[in-house]
Structure 1
Amino acid sequence: MTGPTTGSLRVNGATLHYEVRGRGPLLLLIPGGAGGAAAFDGVADGLAADCTVATYDPRGISRSTLDDPDAEQRVAEHADDAYRILELLSPDEPARVFGSSSGAIAAVHLLSTHPDRVARLVAHEPPLVEVLPDAADHRALVARVQEAFHAEGLMAAMTVFAAGLTRGGSAAPAEGGAPQAPRLPPQAAARAERTMANLPYFVTRIVPPFMSHTPDVDRLRALSDRLVLAGGQDSRGELAYRPAALLAERLGTEMLHFPGGHTGLTTHPEEFGELLRKTFSA
Structure 2
Amino acid sequence: MNPTTIVTTDHLKVPDATLYYEVRGQGPLVVLVGAPMHAEHFAPLAALLADDHTVLTTDPRGVNRSSLDEPGQDSTPQLRADDLSRLLTHLGAGPATVFGSSGGAVTALALAIAHPEQVRTVIAHEPPVSRLLDDSEAHDAAVEDIIATYASGDVAGAWVKFMINANLPLPEFDESAGAPAEAPAEPDPQQAADERFWFLHEMRGTTHWQPDIAALRAGPGVVVGIGEESAGQLCDHTSTALAAALGTKPTYFPGGHIAFADDPAGFVLRLREVLRENGVLPEN
Normalising by the smaller structure, the TM-score range is 0.7 to 0.9
Partner of 2:35: 32
The 8 Å contact of residues 154 and 200 in structure 1, kept in 2 or not, is answered as: no
Aligned residues: 266
Following superposition, the deviation at residue 139 of structure 1 comes to 0.9
Alpha-carbon distance in 2 for matches of 1:70, 1:251:
35
* One-letter amino acid of the structure 2 residue matched with residue 20 of structure 1: V
Q: Aligned partners of 2:252, 2:12: CA distance in 1, in Å?
A: 33
Q: Are positions 1:65 and 2:67 aligned together?
A: yes
SS in 2 for 1:44: helix
1:90 deviates by 3.8
Q: Secondary structure in 1 aligned to 2:152? A: helix
For 2:66, give the aligned amino acid: S
SS across alignment from 2:18: strand
Would the aligned equivalents of 2:41 and 2:261 in 1 still touch at CA under 8 Å?
yes
Between the aligned partners of 2:270 and 2:261, the Cα distance in structure 1 is: 14
Kindly state the Cα deviation for residue 131 of structure 1 after the two structures are TM-superposed: 0.8
- Match of 1:73, SS state, is coil
2:160 is matched with 159
> CA 1:200–1:67 in 2, change beyond 3 Å: closer, same or farther?
same
* Corresponding position: 1:273 with 2:268: yes
The structural deviation recorded for 1:194 is 6.5
Match of 1:83 among 82, 85, 103: 85
| Range 117-126 or range 240-249, more displaced | 240-249
Q: TM-score, normalised by structure 2?
A: 0.86
1:155 is displaced (CA, Å) by 2.2
For structure 1, the 5+ residue unaligned runs are 182-188
- Mark the runs of 5 or more structure 2 residues left unpaired by the alignment: 175-179, 278-284
Deviation at 1:72, TM superposition (A): 2.7
Q: Report the secondary structure of 1:206's partner residue.
A: helix
Larger radius of gyration: 2
- 3-state SS, counterpart of residue 228 of structure 1: strand
Q: Please tell me the root mean square deviation across aligned C-alpha atoms, in Å.
A: 2.6
Matches within 5 A, 1:1-282: 1-2=3-4, 4-33=7-36, 35-91=37-93, 93-166=94-167, 195-223=191-219, 226-282=221-277
Report percent identity of matched pairs: 36
CA distances 1:167-209 after superposition (whole Å, capped 9, x unpaired): 69xxxx99969xx89xxxxxxx9x9996443101011110011
**Cα contact 1:104–1:126 (8 A) shared by 2:** yes
Cα distance change on mapping 1:195 and 1:269 into 2, 3 Å: farther
CA contact (8 A) 1:232 1:262 kept: yes
Give the distance between the partners of 1:63 and 1:78, measured in 2 at CA.
Answer: 15
